[in-house]
Amino acid sequence: MSTSPMMELLDIKKNFGSVNALKGVSMTINKGECHCLLGDNGAGKSTLIKIMSGVHQPTDGQIHIDGKSTIVKGPRYAIDAGIATVYQDLALIPLMSVSRNFWLGRELTKKIGPINVLDFEQCNSILMSEMKKMGIQLRDPNQSVGTLSGGERQSVAIARAVFFGAKILILDEPTSALGVYQTSNVLQTIEKVRAKGVAIVFISHNVSHALSVGDKFTVLCRGETLGTARRGEIDYDELQFMMSGNKKLSELQKERVT
């Protein structure tokens, strides 16, 4: 593990008018580590992602990247700094081919006379080999993304972010809409990416998915962190308890029985 963390959030606060969405959140993201951010709906997860990816600016607090205090001015700045965000439903465009999606915004071109044209051959061959490395079986680079399963789409989006130099990968609910089999495929992809040394922020409200890939767990509840635990220091019930804010689900169940 490297000495200085890749990204540090220090006492981040965010107000929207009189609403305090985040009331002082701190977390540390290290190289090759999968940091799970857990929280119920409305806990402030989305706001925190948007601050990390430059969509929102924090009202107060500091962001350190590679040990230096940084202001993430906008989404473009975040991408250039190696912070990539894969959104649950906005990752890829279903009507376009996998190849066109993968290269979107960074298309490879070649010159024919004075004109730059898309270099389909190179785009497709790099795509296919990258997908193979990630363990994604792609039949045809020209098949539309709409024909991929939800899990395959997430994996392609993750592979794309990593290929284009993401050092910190923020995954917004990557498994929440998926079935069991597809979830395991996405978790395997995440595992491969982490092995490359990419830092992952895994946002979820599904404790069992988080436990199967996470190294560290931070629980967000009503805009505050309830602390960060390492793998092995905490179990399913405790995480579930912290997320629900006051009571363990198992206790709730007991109450109902008695």
Partner 1 sequence: MPINIKNLLPAHSNFRKAMLRPDLGAITGVVLVFLFFFLVARDTGMFSLEGSMNWGIVSSQFIIIAVGACLLMIAGEFDLSVGSMIGFAGIVIAVTSVVWGWPVWLSIITAFVLSMLVGALIGYIVVKTNLPSFIVSLAFLYILRGMTIFGAIYSTQKTIIGGVTEISQGDWLAPFFGGKIFTGLFQWLAEHGWIQTFIAGTKAGQPVVSGIPMMMVWALALVIFGHFLLTRTRFGNWIYASGGDAQAARHIGVPVNKVKILMFVFTAFCATVFATAQVMEFGSAAADRGLLKEFEAIISVVIGGALLTGGYGSVIGAALGAIIFGVVQQGLFFIGVESSLFRVFLGVILLLAVILNTHIRKLITGEKE
* 59 near partner 1 (CB under 8 A): no
How long a stretch of residues is the chain? 258
Among 13, 20, 61, 87, binds partner 1 (CB under 8 A): 87
Question: Of the listed pieces 144-152, 185-193, 222-230, 235-243, which binds partner 1 according to CB under 8 A?
Answer: 144-152
- Whose structure tokens read 């298309």? 107
How many other C-beta atoms are found inside a 10 Å radius of the C-beta of residue 256?
A: 7
Torsion of CA 39, 193, 84, 162, to 10 degrees: -160
Among 42, 67, 94, 227, binds partner 1 (CB under 8 A): 94
Kind and range of the H or E run holding 224: strand 224-230
Pairwise CA distance, residues 247 & 238, whole Å: 10
User: Would you give the binding string for partner 1 spanning residues 206-245, x where CB under 8 A is met?
Assistant: ----------------------------------------
User: Would you give the binding string for partner 1 spanning residues 110-139, x where CB under 8 A is met?
Assistant: -----xxxx--------------------x
Among 30, 46, 47, 85, binds partner 1 (CB under 8 A): 85
Of residues 33 and 152, the one with the C-beta less far from partner 1: 152
CA angle 123, 128, 133 (to 5 degrees): 125
Pairwise CA distance, residues 241 & 237, whole Å: 6
Shortest distance, CB of residue 188 to partner 1, whole angstroms? 23
Residue 105 φ then ψ, to 5°: 85, -15
CA angle 200, 57, 230 (to 5 degrees): 30
Binding site for partner 1 (CB under 8 A): 75-76, 79, 85, 87, 90-96, 100, 103-105, 107, 109, 115-118, 139-140, 143-144, 146-147
